[in-house]
Amino acid sequence: DTGVSQDPRHKITKRGQNVTFRCDPISEHNRLYWYRQTLGQGPEFLTYFQNEAQLEKSRLLSDRFSAERPKGSFSTLEIQRTEQGDSAMYLCASSLVQGAGLYNEQFFGPGTRLTVL
């Protein structure tokens, strides 16, 4: 399977704990995106990487959130001191951007569902 994979698929944690999610993009894709989706809403953009560089962050990404893509391949999203409001589906997507990179299709992973008790 050469699609986007995410691990874990489900995570239950207690408020105040730290959690880390992993995303493995499609191997040749140079862009990687993180989204958050809450119940009854569409995905909301959090951040994206071009190779290993984090180029854009949404204002939704508070200072408790940090994302990395150290070698330009897989990425991790860490949430520190989790709050109940962090409960959501966290989606990762990747795309291949060449040249001017005007429009590029994003391929989504299955997501990690986080529940903060």
What residues from 42 to 71 belong to the interface with another protein (CB under 8 A)?
42-45, 48, 55-56, 58
10 Å CB burial of residue 114 (0-12, 13-18, 19+) is buried
Tell the smallest beta-carbon distance from residue 15 to another protein (Å): 26
What residues from 76 to 95 belong to the interface with another protein (CB under 8 A)?
91, 93
Which amino acid type is present at position 100? A
User: Does 107 help bind another protein (rule: CB under 8 A)?
Assistant: yes
Q: How many CB atoms lie within 10 A of CB 75?
A: 26
Q: What's the distance, CA 7 to chain centroid?
A: 11
Tell the smallest beta-carbon distance from residue 99 to another protein (Å): 11
User: Does 8 help bind another protein (rule: CB under 8 A)?
Assistant: no
Pick the closest to residue 71 from 15, 116, 32 (CA basis). Answer: 32
Name the site residues for another protein (rule: CB under 8 A): 4, 31, 33, 40-45, 48, 55-56, 58, 91, 93, 100-103, 105-111
